[in-house]
Amino acid sequence: MTERLIRILQASDLETETEVNVLVVGNDADVAELSLEGIARIELNFPKFSDGRAYSQAYLLRRRRKFAGDIRATGDVLVDQLVQMQRTGFSSAVLKEGKDVADAQRQFERYSAFYQGDVVVHEPLFARS
């Protein structure tokens, strides 16, 4: 069981959100060079769910840049990506329209742990006490 930390949003949830300072980052951007001052949320887009660049971007924003605000996945966000999104540093994800939140929740209940370290648990399995 992996505790679900990422907020799963549906399109309708966005209407009631309070406005914050958002930075939309393209997949080509080098996140090492972004100015993050005053930014409350970074949005990383998945043009296709099979385009994995945003995972590295999220990882670098959390681990290297120590960004503490919200990192949100937008675009082609499907149920089976959510666990890896959480593990690479995303804190919210806007699920593609028509996808079932219950199916999404089930994916977090499947694995007790993973081999690698990630953004949530830094050490790999072998180095955990």
Partner 1 sequence: MYQYTEFDRQFVRARAAQFRDQLERWQAGKLTDEELRPLRLQNGWYIQRYAPMARISVPYGELSSAQLRVLARVAREYDQPDAALLAEAQEKQLALGPVPVPGTNRQVVTKLTFGYGHFTTRTNVQFNWIPITRAAEVMELLADVNMHGIQTSGNAIRNITTEELAGIAVDEIADPRPFAEIIRQWAALHPEFVFLPRKFKIALNGAREDRAATGWYDISLQAVKNEQGELGFKVLVGGGMGRTPVIATVVSAFVPWQHVLSYLEACIRVYNQYGRRDNVWKARIKILVKAEGQRYIDKVEEEFRQIVEIDGAPHTITQAEYDRIAAQFVAPQVGRPQRDAAAARVHEIIRADAEADPLFDRWLQRNVLPHRNPELRAVLLSFKRLGQNPGDCTADQFDACADLAERFSAGEARVTHEQNLLLPWVHQDDLPELWAAARKLGLARPNIGLITDMIACPGGDFCSLANARSLPIAEAITERFQDLDEEHDIGEIDLNFSGCINSCGHHHAGHIGILGVDKDGKEWYQITLGGSNGSDLSGPATPGKVVGPSFAKEEVPGVIEALIDTYRQLRQPAADGKFEPFIATLKRVGHEPFKAAANAARFVEKEIA
In whole angstroms, the minimum distance from the beta carbon of 20 to partner 1 comes to 26
In whole angstroms, the minimum distance from the beta carbon of 50 to partner 1 comes to 5
> What is the DSSP code string of 45-105?
EESSTT--HHHHHHHHHHHTS---SEEEEEES--GGGHHHHHHHT--EEEPPTT--HHHHH
Indicate whether 124 belongs to the interface with partner 1 (CB under 8 A): yes
Indicate whether 22 belongs to the interface with partner 1 (CB under 8 A): no
Indicate whether 51 belongs to the interface with partner 1 (CB under 8 A): yes
How far from 113 is each of 2, 84, 120, 124, CA to CA, in Å?
Answer: 7, 12, 11, 10
In the list 8, 9, 55, 67, the residue contacting partner 1 (rule: CB under 8 A) is 55
- Chain residues binding partner 1 by CB under 8 A are 30, 49-53, 55-57, 59, 63-64, 78-80, 83-84, 87-88, 99-100, 103, 106-107, 110-118, 122-127
